[in-house]
A and B are shown apart, each in its own frame.
Chain A
Amino acid sequence: MNIKILGSGCSNCRILERRTMKAVEALKIDARIEKVTDFQKIASYGIMRTPGLVIDEKVAISGSVPTVDKIQELLIAHRSA
């Protein structure tokens, strides 16, 4: 699984990154977490609010920092889809 955190390095992006790592660890998923800080790339995903969470090139969340539980839900939903 490929996970991207979109954001220019604001505090919310760092929180999202930390929580995503926790969620991935808890579920023991084999995933690569990438940080995308380039605005050009961020914009190409069509999001208007950072931070954004992208799972396998699909935007899962933008503009908010979900809880670890919520991220786990998203990951599970994506895996079974």
Chain B
Amino acid sequence: MKKLIEQHPISTTVILLILWIALYIALQPLADAVISLTWLVPGEHLTEALRFFVFEVPKVLLLLTLVVFAVGIVRTYFSPERTRTLLGGKSLFVGNVLASVLGIVTPFCSCSAIPLFIGFVEAGVPLGVTFSFLIAAPMINEIAVVLLFGLFGWQTALLYVSTGLLIAITAGYVIGRLKVECFVEDWVYQIHSNTAEMEEIIPSFRDRIQSGFEAVKEIVAKVWPFLLVGIGVGAGIHGYVPENFMASLMGKSVWWSVPVAVLIGVPLYSNAAGIIPIVHALLEKGASLGTTLAFMMAVIGLSLPETIILRKVLKMPLIFIFVGVVATGIIMVGYVFNVVY
């Protein structure tokens, strides 16, 4: 397989794509066949739970591989270095919009947050614009979008992306306006690296396809445990939490549900793959969309490990401002959705 991809990347991709489509089409009849083999009655609670496992989960995994592959290729056209050049010298508002959008497509891992932060600041990217990037990059990721699309439809996926962008843009803008440069650790400004030495290698199309396959391998390996735990917890809620129980806790008539969901969500850490099956189960038990969305954004977008990492370059007041501004944005989004839906 590995050799095939290396030697004939394009034809292998085409064959795999055809296989993918065939599998995707066959999934529904296959799942129905599996369920008809059991003694379960269609429409019953347990049957639908089983259908979730034999149809929804494989479907989402299939979608995930395809999108991760495509995103893996797209990302070879972007790099933090290039993004930094694009962002340098942009005015505050325009910069915030651009940074948030680039946050979606630029390859980013939270373990690189510090070098990236330093690289941006050193190149003269305004602090507020840098924050827009740091908020958008983890919150709006392809895994979240695919899972939302697969389980709830394109409207919800679009809703998530647009509100995520809105939060990243406004939070970054607000932080930029607060003039908090003095709360960045002093040593950050003293670094003068020799960036000129690095030459950028432009990959061939074959290399880009290779990157797509590598991205699939990496993401699938990383996402598995989260997905399993998430599905497990989701199934638990599914089976043991009484119908409409969540309505009394996370329903829209409960005014405090949004801030509490965010407060619970911030210290929790999971990647999108783990949180979405839980979100699915919560919604089913009567939790409102706004509250659930806020919970999800708080878990994915604001994580304790990342905040601890950022503490190395930010002084305490700025950490609080960062978490406070983003959390406020998420809470507002939650309320708006509870009112609209």
Contact = CB atoms under 8 A, between A and B. Distances in A.
A43 B115 contact: yes
A50 B111 CA distance: 7
B111 A8 contact: yes
A39 B109 contact: no
Contacts of B107: 49, 63
A44 B197 CA distance: 12
B195 interface: yes
B197 A39 contact: no
B154 to A, nearest CB: 31
Residue of A44, A46, A59, A62 contacting most chain B CB atoms (<10 Å) = A46
B296 to A, nearest CB: 24
A48 B87 CA distance: 15
A12 B313 CA distance: 22
A44 B193 CA distance: 5
B119 A39 contact: no
B112 A63 contact: yes
B63 interface: no
Contacts of B195: 46
B112 A40 contact: no
With a 10 A CB-CB cut-off, give which of B79, B111, B119, B192 has the most chain A CB atoms. Answer: B111
A46 B112 contact: no
B118 interface: yes
A77 interface: no
Given A8-B114, A39-B114, A39-B118, A46 B80 contact: no
Contacts of A63: 79-80, 107, 112
A46 B194 CA distance: 6
Contacts, number: 64
Interface string A1-37: 0000001101010000000000000000000000000
A55 interface: no
Contacts of A42: 114-115
A23 to B, nearest CB: 18
A68 interface: no
B187 interface: yes
A41 to B, nearest CB: 10
A45 B193 contact: yes
B277 to A, nearest CB: 24
B45 interface: no
Interface string A42-81: 1111111110000000110011000000000000000000
A46 B197 contact: yes
A59 B197 contact: yes
A10 B188 CA distance: 21
A4 B13 CA distance: 36
B80 A10 contact: no
A45 B191 CA distance: 10
Given A10-B109, A39-B312, A58 B197 contact: yes
A50 B115 contact: yes
B122 to A, nearest CB: 8
B280 interface: no
Contacts of B112: 48-50, 63
A46 B79 CA distance: 14
A62 B107 CA distance: 12
A65 to B, nearest CB: 9
A47 B115 contact: yes
A43 B118 contact: yes
B285 interface: no
B111 A46 contact: no
19 contacts: A7-B111, A8-B309, A12-B111, A39-B115, A40-B191, A42-B114, A43-B114, A43-B115, A44-B192, A47-B119, A48-B80, A48-B81, A49-B107, A49-B109, A49-B112, A50-B112, A59-B197, A59-B198, A63-B107
Interface of B: 79-81, 84, 107, 109, 111-112, 114-116, 118-119, 122, 187-188, 191-195, 197-198, 309, 312-313
